[in-house]
């Protein structure tokens, strides 16, 4: 079964980090364990362990779907008892929340408090999803059991406030090392690692994998004419539009300058072509203003898929996608080119 994007990122983070100490490492692993159990047990989009003054703000440096979900959870107070919003749009406390009324439109939330040895609430185990659902009494008991499991592990570890603070800082540093400081996407090292992990997962699951390179057309001239700060602002807007075109478990990263890599696990060459075209149209949909100047932005894109290159290595897939992107630029920009065996075939939509 293909891993979710967040599980891949957890693996990525862990693979590049030496734990601060045995106790801190154990707590981090227990959090991941509870999250995995919660997601599988309740079949929800995500499960979080949010501990007051420990996890709060941990997602500030990231703009992935998982970090947005974490920001939603961390921004809510820990409940004193089981709290369930079967439909957040009908919940008095949540219906006006910006992540409920706006993207990504969270529709279900449940939280079970976590207590310390003195029976004081210190956090919660939380579930989030994107469709309303019924949360039965039995579900509530299972969530309470999950919280109790973490409480026991936390007490066994006897983690001090200092240790928790160190773990928080360590988590932030690890995530910051994987994100682009300007636009908040995964950086080149992280997105390349995500591609590597997903290639292994998709091969094991006998599913295709696709990858898209997207490049903002004439970005250098925009920087030269309007200044780098204005160019940086445009990149943020471009990233937001690109992200709106992909699924929560897809990965988006800044590969180089104004070039982005999108990893699409489970997507065939037809789906990747449709996604790339959707991105192209999303960028064209609205002109951007820089002062009094009105700019019509466009992008060029190159796509590649393992269902057309089943034996390709990671490096070969990247090479095929880069060549497809170059062909899109040579074709006049503002188009999508898909790599295929032999010659590159391309679909030009102006």
Query: Given a cut of 90, is residue 192 above it in pLDDT?
Result: yes
User: What pLDDT digit, counting tens, does each position of 263-292 carry?
Assistant: 999 999 999 999 999 999 999 998 888 888
Residue 167 has what pLDDT? 62
How sure is the predictor about 300, in pLDDT bands with cuts at 50, 70 and 90? very high
User: What pLDDT digit, counting tens, does each position of 200-210 carry?
Assistant: 999 999 999 99
CA dist., res. 193 & res. 8, Å (int): 9
How sure is the predictor about 170, in pLDDT bands with cuts at 50, 70 and 90? low
Percent of all residues in the chain with a pLDDT value above 90, rounded to a whole number: 57
Residue 235 CA: distances (Å) to CA of 198, 230, 249, 300, 321: 26, 9, 22, 14, 21
Give Cα 242 distance to the centre of its chain: 13
Among the listed residues 38, 130, 43, the one whose alpha carbon sits nearest the alpha carbon of residue 89: 130
User: What pLDDT digit, counting tens, does each position of 78-108 carry?
Assistant: 999 999 999 999 999 999 999 999 989 999 9
How sure is the predictor about 53, in pLDDT bands with cuts at 50, 70 and 90? low
- DSSP readout, 240-287? HHHHTTS-TTSEEEEEETTEEEEEEET--HHHHHHHHHHHHHHHHSS-
Give Cα 191 distance to the centre of its chain: 11
Domains in the chain with CATH codes: 17-176 (3.30.450.40), 188-347 (3.30.70.270)
Is residue 260 a contact partner of residue 203, using CB atoms and an 8 Å limit?
no
Residue 59 has what pLDDT? 40
Residue 16 has what pLDDT? 37
Is residue 164 a contact partner of residue 56, using CB atoms and an 8 Å limit?
no
Measured in degrees and rounded to the nearest 5, phi and psi for residue 22 equal: -60, -40
User: What pLDDT digit, counting tens, does each position of 1-51 carry?
Assistant: 334 444 444 544 443 333 334 444 567 888 899 999 999 999 999 999 998
Query: Given a cut of 90, is residue 304 above it in pLDDT?
Result: yes
**Structural element, H or E, at residue 85:** strand 83-85
Measured in degrees and rounded to the nearest 5, phi and psi for residue 30 equal: -65, -40
Residue 64 has what pLDDT? 79
User: What pLDDT digit, counting tens, does each position of 127-154 carry?
Assistant: 999 999 999 999 999 999 999 999 888 7
Residue 5 has what pLDDT? 46
Is residue 309 a contact partner of residue 211, using CB atoms and an 8 Å limit?
no
How sure is the predictor about 242, in pLDDT bands with cuts at 50, 70 and 90? very high
């Amino acid at each position: 079964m293909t891993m979710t994007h967040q599980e891949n990122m957890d693996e990525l983070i862990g693979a590049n980090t030496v734990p601060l100490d045995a106790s801190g490492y154990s707590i981090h692993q227990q959090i991941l364990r509870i999250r995995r159990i919660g997601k599988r047990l309740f079949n929800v989009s995500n499960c979080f362990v949010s501990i007051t003054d420990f996890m709060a703000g941990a997602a500030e440096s990231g703009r992935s779907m998982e970090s947005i979900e974490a920001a939603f959870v961390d921004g809510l107070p820990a409940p004193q008892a089981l709290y369930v919003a079967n439909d957040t749009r009908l919940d008095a406390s949540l219906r006006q929340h910006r992540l409920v009324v706006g993207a990504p439109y969270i529709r279900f939330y449940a939280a079970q408090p976590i207590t310390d040895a003195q029976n004081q609430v210190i956090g919660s185990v939380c579930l989030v999803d994107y469709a309303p659902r019924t949360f039965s009494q039995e579900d509530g008991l299972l969530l309470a059991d999950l919280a109790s499991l973490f409480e026991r592990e936390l007490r066994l570890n006897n983690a001090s406030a200092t240790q928790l603070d160190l773990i928080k800082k360590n988590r932030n540093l690890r995530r910051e090392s994987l994100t682009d400081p300007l636009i908040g996407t995964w950086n080149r090292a992280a997105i390349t690692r995500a591609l590597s992990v997903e290639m292994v997962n998709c091969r094991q699951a006998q599913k295709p994998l696709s990858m898209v390179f997207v490049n903002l057309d004439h970005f250098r001239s925009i920087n030269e004419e309007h200044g780098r700060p204005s160019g940086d602002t445009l990149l943020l807007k471009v990233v937001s539009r690109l992200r709106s075109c992909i699924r929560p478990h897809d990965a988006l990263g800044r590969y180089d300058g104004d070039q982005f890599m999108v990893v699409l696990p489970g997507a065939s060459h037809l789906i990747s072509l449709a996604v790339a075209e959707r991105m192209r149209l999303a960028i064209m949909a609205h002109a951007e203003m820089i002062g009094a100047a009105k700019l019509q932005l466009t992008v060029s894109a190159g796509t590649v898929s393992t269902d057309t290159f089943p034996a390709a290595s990671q490096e070969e897939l990247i090479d095929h996608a880069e060549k497809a992107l170059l062909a899109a630029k040579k074709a006049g920009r503002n188009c999508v080119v898909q790599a295929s065996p032999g010659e590159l075939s391309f679909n030009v939509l102006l």
